[in-house]
Homo-oligomer: A and B are copies of this chain.
C-alpha cells in the first residue's frame, strides 16, 4: 500500500522542557531554532509516513545516505509574521509549496500534496507561536527541506527520503534599515545555464556560489552579480533576483527583471514586485533579457534610475554600485536625499510588501493562521 501525505494523520510529540526564548537583538539569521520540527518519512514501497511534529533534534543517517554524496536535497524558505492584533500571518505560502514540488521533481525526489504539507507546517507554526518576534521586520523563518536518505552509493533515484521542517526566529536583514550593496559582476564563474538547474531551489546551486562570494567580499563587494552569455546578461544578485529601473532608449520608464527562462529562480518576492508594479501601472514592467552593456549605457546617459535585488530574507536590497570589467559603475539611490540608502521606488516596494506581510495593508497574499 502506497500512502499519500495527509495532514489529518499528523501527530505531535512535545519536548519535556521548552527552550528559553532569545532576545530579538541577539538573533543571527538561521542560527537559532525553535522547540519542534516536522518530520515525514518517505519510501518507494510505502509512500509517505504519518507526519510527526517532534522535539527539535538531530538527524541520524547512515554515512552512505545519498544526501551526503549526490546532493539529493531541495528546500524552501518562507516567513511567519505576527501582526499588531497578535495574528500569525504567512505570505503566499502556496507559491513555496509549488516551487518545492518542482525542485523535488528536478532531482527525482518524491512528489507530495502541497496543500497537505502546508497544513502540517501551519500546525508547526501554531505550536511555535511564542517564537515569532513581534517587532517590525522580525519574523519566524520556516525551512522545509527534502533529502534523499537511501543507503546506496549507486547514482540513481533514491528509494527513501525525509521531509523535515525547521523554524528559526530572524531579524530584519539590515538592522538599521536599508543598507545599499556594492556588487562584483562575476565573469569568471557562471551560476546557471540553459538545460541546467538554475530555476530549482536545490542544494547543488548554493555551495558553488560561496567561493565567488568570498572572492568578492575580499575585494570589498557585498555580493556577486551573476552574468550569463556572451553579452553579459544580468541573471541574479547573490541569492536574490535582480531588478533594474531605467529610462529606456524610447524614453519610457521601465522596470526590468530577467525572464524565467529556466536559469533563474522564480522568486516569490520577484513575482510579488512584478504584480505590484503592474497594478500601479505607473511605468512599463518587463520580464526581458538585459545586459551589462545596456545598464552601463543607461548609466552613462543618466537614464539608470535604481537597481535592487529581491528575496524572502531581505525583501529588497538596494544596489549602489557594480564593479564590471574594470570599471566602477555607480547606481543612483535617492536623488532627493544624499544620505538615503535606497531610491524611492525600491523603498516603496519594500514598504508595500512589509505592509502586506504584517497585515497593515489588506491583501489576499497575506494568510491569517490562527
Chain A interface residues toward B at CB < 8 A: 28-31, 33, 37, 56-65, 67-73, 75, 105-108, 141, 143, 145, 147-148, 151-157, 164, 166, 168, 188-190, 193-197, 200, 202-211, 213-214, 238-239
User: A154 to chain B: which residues have CB within 8 Å?
Assistant: 28-31
Q: A143 touches which one: B153, B164, B197 (CB < 8 A)? A: B153
> A332: shortest Cβ distance to chain B, in Å?
28
| In the bound complex, CA of A145 to CA of B66 (Å) | 12
CA–CA, A172 to B26, complex, Å? 56
Specify which of B69, B107, B188, B208 is in contact with A197 (CB 8 Å cutoff).
B208
Contact indicator B196/A168 (Cβ below 8 Å): no
Looking at the complex, which one of B29, B58, B64, B153 makes contact with A153 (CB distance below 8 Å)?
B29
- What is the CB-to-nearest-CB distance from A211 to chain B, in angstroms, rounded to a whole number? 5
Starting from the known contacts A29-B153, A58-B63, A196-B208, 9 additional A-B residue pairs (CB-CB under 8 Å) come to A30-B153, A37-B63, A59-B60, A59-B62, A68-B147, A71-B207, A155-B213, A157-B210, A188-B195
Chain B residues with Cβ under 8 A from A211's Cβ?
105-108
List residues of chain B with CB within 8 A of the CB of A194: 190
Could you say which residues of chain B place their CB within 8 Å of the CB of A145? 63, 68-69
- Indicate whether A208 sits within 8 Å of B107 (C-beta atoms), given known contacts A141-B153, A213-B156: yes
- Of B57, B68, B157, the contact of A203 (CB 8 Å cutoff): B68
Q: How far, in Å, is A263 (CB) from chain B's closest CB? A: 10
Q: Count chain B CB atoms within 10 A of each CB in A62, A105, A208, A211 and give the residue with the most.
A: A208
Beta-carbon nearest neighbor of A39 in chain B: B63
Are B155 and A210 in contact, CB atoms less than 8 angstroms apart? Answer: yes
Q: How far apart are A360's CB and chain B's nearest CB, in angstroms?
A: 27
CA distance A193 to B164 in the complex (A): 32
CB<8 Å pairs between A and B, sample of 10: A30-B152, A31-B154, A59-B60, A60-B60, A67-B67, A155-B238, A156-B213, A157-B214, A202-B208, A203-B203
Give Cα distance in the complex from A59 to B152, angstroms.
Answer: 15
Contact A208–B213 (Cβ < 8 Å): no
Question: Once the chains bind, are B64 and A30 in contact (CB under 8 Å)?
Answer: yes
Q: Are A210 and B156 in contact (CB under 8 A)?
A: yes
Q: Once bound together, how far apart are the Cα atoms of A239 and B141, in whole Å?
A: 37
Residues of B within 8 A of A166 (CB): 63-64
Docked Cα-Cα span, A106 to B208, in Å, equals 7
* CA A188 to CA B195, docked complex, whole Å: 6
Contact between A208 and B204, CB atoms less than 8 A apart? yes
Residues of B contacting A208 in the complex (Cβ-Cβ under 8 angstroms):
106-107, 196-197, 200, 202, 204
How far is the CB of A183 from the nearest CB of chain B, in Å? 16
* Residues of B contacting A65 in the complex (Cβ-Cβ under 8 angstroms): 59
Among A64, A157, A209, the most chain B Cβ lie within 10 Å of the Cβ of A64
Output the least CB separation between A311 and chain B (Å): 11
Which residues does chain B contribute within 8 Å of A204, judged by CB atoms? 71, 202-205, 207-208
Known contacts A59-B60, A204-B71; is A108 also within 8 Å of B214 by CB?
yes
What B residues does A29 contact at CB under 8 A? Answer: 153-154
B-chain residues with CB within 8 Å of residue A155 when the two chains form the complex: 206, 209-210, 213, 238-239
Give the Cβ gap from A216 to chain B, nearest Cβ, in Å.
12
Q: A29-B153, A145-B63, A153-B168 are in contact. Are A210 and B108 (CB under 8 A)?
A: yes
- Nearest chain B residue, comparing its CB with the CB of A157: B210
Going nearest first, the 3 A-B pairs with the smallest beta carbon separation are A204-B204, A30-B153, A71-B203
Alpha-carbon distance between A305 and B207 when the two chains are bound, in angstroms: 41
